[in-house]
Chains A and B, each alone.
Chain A
Amino acid sequence: MAGVAVSTTINGDSVEYLCQPDETLLDVLRDRLGLTGAKEGCGTGDCGACSIILDDRLVCSCLVLGAEAEGRRVETVEGMAHGEKLHPLQQKFLEHAALQCGICTPGFLIAAKDLLAKNPDPTEEEIRFGLAGNLCRCTGYDKIVRAVQDAANVMKGA
């Protein structure tokens, strides 16, 4: 199989790669580019562990082909912190212990980032609905919701 040559932007950097036509963007990120933040939970768009932002839209990278990223903008969890300085969401997830095993965390962080970008002052219900596409089997969600609320307050004040 001939590879597909792709030029794209990931976390602000121009990136070029070759991928197979049936290879998902998740596999490209993890296996070809070493960006292992996005996780494969289900591989069928149900768990949200592979969430990324593609041209300002939250998507599951397991449901996107690597070839489709041509000319587009990809944001992953690796782009959230600035050097040593964590994104407020990351900081609040730590402070609220909003994670245990951590597999779902990058997906939650990206989904929460997208949520707050579109709705900087969400209600608890809006947060719960907004994050319904992300599954966590450890924390039971309450700590995650509180971390997102706290981060929203910090970001509003910034």
Chain B
Amino acid sequence: MRYIRPLSIEDAVGQLAGAAGPAAILAGGSDLLVRMKGGFIEPDLIVDIKAIEGLSEIRETAEGFSIGAAVSCAVLGESAALKKAWPGVVEAAKLIGSKQVQGRCTIVGNLCNASPAADSVPALVAAGAKAVVVGPSGKRTIAVEAVPTGPGRTSLTKGEIIEAILLDKRAPRSGDAYLRFIPRTEMDIAVVSAGVNLTIDEQGVVKAARIALGAAAPTVLLVEEAAEALIGRKLDEAALERLAKVCSGACRPIDDKRGTIEFRRKVAGVLARRAATTAYKRAGGK
């Protein structure tokens, strides 16, 4: 096995693309090292991307925010500007693991680990976040929901690295929120979760909405019908009822030790409803 710490993204891409055997990207390592220890992966090459210029930074641009792939969730949670603009994304990222894990884990890692229960992913999908993918054939920007293709699988091809996550500049009167259900108060994996992102007009009528569910299907679910249930209305009881019903109906969960299909369906609706209420308040709705 070789460990390398390239200084440029081009070098990192070249090393990954040219690797003869299995290769792994190392940012926070909170998934990779566990998988290596468990014998689930035996990479010949580990490419540590933390020394690549710019990858450890959160940049505020004219278009919004660019969060580098090596930014730990601890650092992300300390960004006042990001917390103000995208509180739902930040609260989701802050739910990943313990303080110790927060010091290492990244949202790009959370995305590329492709767990259906990843906490930051529904919040990012609701936020309309994009991933900047750099590979042997150049750079492309794709929707976050296009990255995971199934549990543990992504659409990334050999040599490709997600360099950053992009979040748009906030429209006025916008808010987002993320909630998950776990049977404890801390340090657990989502049984089911919901991310909601709303923009309202001056009267409190929802102009735009994105609702995403986690741990409810093999990949994160962007529920377009749920957005339709809210757009053009105030967030009244009828709209919330409809939202919960649509979200419960959209789930395709599994039965496992953490929750049954029936439970996950019901709670998906409850969480979507509660997250929508918080997002609406954050947007300034009453």
Contacts and interface: CB of A to CB of B under 8 A. Distances in A.
B100 A48 contact: yes
Contacts of A111: 99-100
Contact of A62 (B2, B5, B33, B48): B33
Contact of B30 (A1, A45, A131): A45
Interface in A34-60: 43-46, 48, 51, 54, 57-60
B120 to A, nearest CB: 17
Interface residues on chain A, size class = 20 to 34
Given A57-B74, A67-B3, A133 B100 contact: yes
A114 interface: yes
B37 A43 contact: yes
Contact of B26 (A65, A115, A130): A65
Chain A interface mostly helix, strand, loop or mixed? Answer: mixed
A20 B30 CA distance: 19
A1 B103 contact: no
A64 interface: yes
B1 A1 contact: yes
Contacts of B6: none
Given A1-B1, A4-B3, A48-B100, A68 B34 contact: no
A12 to B, nearest CB: 20
B104 interface: yes
A44 B37 contact: yes
B187 interface: yes
Interface residues of B, number: 27
Interface string B49-86: 01000000000000000000000101000000000000
A12 B103 CA distance: 21
Nearest to A57: B103
Interface of B: 1-3, 5, 26, 28-30, 33-34, 36-38, 46, 48, 50, 72, 74, 97-101, 103-104, 186-187
20 contacts: A22-B1, A22-B3, A43-B37, A45-B101, A57-B104, A58-B103, A60-B100, A63-B28, A63-B29, A65-B26, A65-B46, A65-B48, A67-B48, A68-B26, A68-B50, A114-B99, A115-B99, A130-B99, A132-B99, A132-B187
Given A21-B2, A60-B101, 5 more contacts: A45-B98, A65-B48, A67-B5, A68-B26, A111-B100
Interface of A: 1, 4, 20-22, 24, 43-46, 48, 51, 54, 57-60, 62-65, 67-68, 70, 111, 114-115, 129-134
